[in-house]
Structure 1
């Protein structure tokens, strides 16, 4: 009887320890994701502070989705690889959605060496871009047209390619924002991080359609998106 009691006590202690470690790991994961959202917010905040190099007003007004990948990594020697983690929000009938988590991956070939880190912003400008973001992944330039975005609040889309692109892309390197060509890169849903943040019963589509209430730590990001990408008559 004594041995059974000790076994049960050991089992309960082990279970409690395991649960405690799981909760701690979950809290750490959530903190990491909150930091990623805050980093994305900082990128947009800095972009707002550079009106001469910002996203043109006409593009901001028709934006349907905004993806931000802070600290996108690109390292290369002959063959280059690119990888980044970020968040995406889409326009809904009552403002912008809570952020969902994404990954951006790609590869570039050519004579290159060294590495760099840059912040990226992808602006979806058509309803089609919104629909494609609800799928598992999008190949930029393949599944959806993409072009380097014009800069300057009063700038206009200067080419047919830019005017008709589903996604316009921007980068920041050493504090300077400019358009960037991401043709061939792939945007993936980050299901693991989205599940860790919202729970397994919350879908990517429900988040981007506005059905999921934003968490408090993401409100600064959403407010900045609302402020930057307003449109007359859109709320």
Structure 2
């Protein structure tokens, strides 16, 4: 009797990383779907010009906002750095935030952060940032009318969006914190303890298929296609 039990435990231990890694893969696939939705509504989506000028984009699919008098937000997603004109391997992140006021109920929404300053991205890689405190954040503009990002850079380091019912809109996320999800990075890339700086240096050909599809979607969205 003992041998079958030991064998079953061994199989569970071996398969657990695969199951957990699949959860991270699904997060990347969900993030890709959010980016693809940007392309479907060019007049009411995130301006391609902002994506072209961005230093990074964080995508939090299905962020949960819930509360009864005291509210809270929690979500898991990816941060995709852009360097030398191209998007790099995604790094997993978590967003946590709270709010106070008379509120009740729960909702799930997709959140996108467009990083317009290199410093704000570096701060995330160094630990975590609190939006509005460590980096200026503002609700982002929508539509193709935003063709240049020079003036945008001067006003805010990060622009935030939410997607609900197929439409993107600027959203206030002041007070929410964003940090690296090291455990998710290790599960997705199959290497425990891997650092974000090492992840972004990976060659595209070595990336898991969901990650490559996400980068392709970002390239198309930035090109306005």
TM-score normalized by structure 1? 0.85
Task: Quote the residue 1:3 is aligned against.
Answer: none
What pairs with 1:18-167 in structure 2 (closer than 5 Å)?
Answer: 18-93=9-84, 95-155=86-146, 163-167=154-158
| 1:227 to partner: Cα distance | 2.0
What pairs with 1:175-190 in structure 2 (closer than 5 Å)?
Answer: 175-190=166-181
Unaligned runs of 5+ in 2: none
CA distance in 2, matches of 1:180, 1:136: 24
Cα contact 2:65–2:106 (8 A) shared by 1: yes
Distance change (3 Å), C-alpha of 1:62 and 1:209: farther
| 1:215 to partner: Cα distance | 1.3
The answer on 1:220 being equivalent to 2:197 is no
**Aligned alpha-carbon RMSD (Å):** 2.4
Distance change (3 Å), C-alpha of 1:12 and 1:98: farther
CA distance in 2, matches of 1:94, 1:62: 9
Instruction: Between 42-51 and 92-101, report the one with greater CA deviation.
Output: 92-101
Cα contact 1:98–1:208 (8 A) shared by 2: yes
CA distance in 1, matches of 2:218, 2:207: 13
Residue aligned with 2:19, SS = helix
Residue aligned with 1:108, SS = strand
CA distance in 1, matches of 2:26, 2:59: 13
Residue aligned with 2:23, SS = helix
Task: Quote the residue 2:192 is aligned against.
Answer: 200
TM-score normalized by structure 2? 0.89
Number of equivalenced pairs:
221
Cα contact 1:38–1:221 (8 A) shared by 2: yes
